[in-house]
Amino acid sequence: MEIVEYSRPRSIDEALRLIRDRGGTPIAGAAWLRTNVKTIKLGVDLSELELDFIRETERGVEIGAMTSYRSIEMSGMLAQRFGGALGAAVSHVVGVQLRNIITIGGTAAGRYGFSDLNTMLAALGAKLVLYPNTVLDFARYLETGAGGPFLIEKFLLPTRAQAAFAQMRISESDFPVLNAAVAKPEGEWRIAVGARPGATRLCPRAMALLGSEARPSDAAIAEAAALAATELRFGSDIRASAEYRRAILPALLRRAITEVRE
Ligand SMILES: Cc1cc2nc3c(=O)[nH]c(=O)nc-3n(C[C@H](O)[C@H](O)[C@H](O)COP(=O)(O)OP(=O)(O)OC[C@H]3O[C@@H](n4cnc5c(N)ncnc54)[C@H](O)[C@@H]3O)c2cc1C
């Protein structure tokens, strides 16, 4: 990665101006950016914008775009509110050194197919706040993108939700073969699947089957898990075939749904 001009703005308005008007590239932890060989004409370092926070508000829980995976993993408040599911989604990513620099904002911006955290956020029904005041449904944004240059300010999560994360990896520090997340914010079941290897998608038919059922039976859980595998598209890559991904998804989902039910 080569950066021709580097800027570290002190205000979020200035950062947005550089990104929108001068074609600047936001730099979060630069963990993913540095794997790229392309030249960045103007790098906009977001580290001085005070976007590193996890806090409670009247509307729910807010996580700033520059919050690291390690902060999410170690947050007692998030563990209490979401049953450890957010920590479970990030704790498998490589090692502590990397998790200290990679951010929730850099992860969402890339809409990476392999992302574990994006799957968990979609299941939780997270909202994405683009500065200054655009609020997007996160799962929808994963499908459509933001359309033009943007600056992620923060994420809005519900106050609390029962949630679970499940994944399949060949080895601990590799990218996932498949991941799945289940949550029940506001009483409705939500199911998201990522690393298909395409980006995270919801499973609307499986979600509708479970609806707002407080304690679905084992049979209903098995039916929803099997239905999810039929409504998603899977692909093949060096880690696994589409058929393998489709075959293992019901097992991941049965585990995650059962964990949320209990
Ligand atoms: C070796 C390695 C292994 C990994 N393994 C996994 C894995 O197994 N599972 C997994 O889920 N993830 C994995 N990741 C990805 C990681 O979780 C992050 O998603 C990724 O590294 C983002 O890095 P970053 O936060 O430093 O963002 P950067 O690299 O700084 O930026 C990434 C992109 O987001 C843009 N951006 C950053 N912040 C913002 C913002 N606030 N607003 C708008 N745009 C922004 C940047 O311009 C850039 O395009 C891995 C990454 C690496 C480097």
pLDDT of 107: 98
CATH code 3.40.50.1220 for 162-261: no
Q: Token match 């963990």: residue?
A: 31
One-letter amino acid identity for 4?
Answer: V
Q: What DSSP designation does 185 have?
A: G
Q: What DSSP designation does 58 have?
A: T
For ligand 1, atom 34, name the residue with the nearest CA: 106
Please tell me the distance from the alpha carbon of residue 13 to that of residue 197, in angstroms, as a whole number. Answer: 36
Check the CA dihedral 65-66-70-75 and report its sign: negative
User: Within 42-136, where are the H helices?
Assistant: 69-74, 76-82, 85-90, 96-99, 104-110, 117-123
**Exposed/middle/buried for residue 48 (C-beta within 10 Å: 0-12, 13-18, 19+):** middle
Whole-structure pTM value:
0.97
Q: Is the CB of 103 under 6 A from ligand 1?
A: yes
The pLDDT tens digits of the residues spanning 91-106 come to 999 999 999 999 999 9
Please tell me the distance from the alpha carbon of residue 96 to that of residue 85, in angstroms, as a whole number. Answer: 18
One-letter amino acid identity for 24?
Answer: G
The pLDDT tens digits of the residues spanning 56-111 come to 999 899 999 999 999 999 999 999 999 999 999 999 999 999 999 999 999 999 99
Domain ranges in the chain are 2-43, 54-157, 162-261
For domain 54-157, the CATH architecture is 2-Layer Sandwich (3.30)
pLDDT of 262: 83
Task: Kindly give the parts of the chain with pLDDT less than 50.
Answer: none
The domains spanning 54-157 and 162-261 adopt the same CATH topology:
no
Question: Measuring CA to CA, how many Å separate 180 from each of 74, 87, 143?
Answer: 21, 14, 17
Atom from ligand 1 closest to the CA of residue 151: 42
Q: Is the CB of 93 under 6 A from ligand 1?
A: yes
Helix or strand (DSSP H, E) at 202: strand 201-202
Q: Is the CB of 165 under 6 A from ligand 1?
A: no
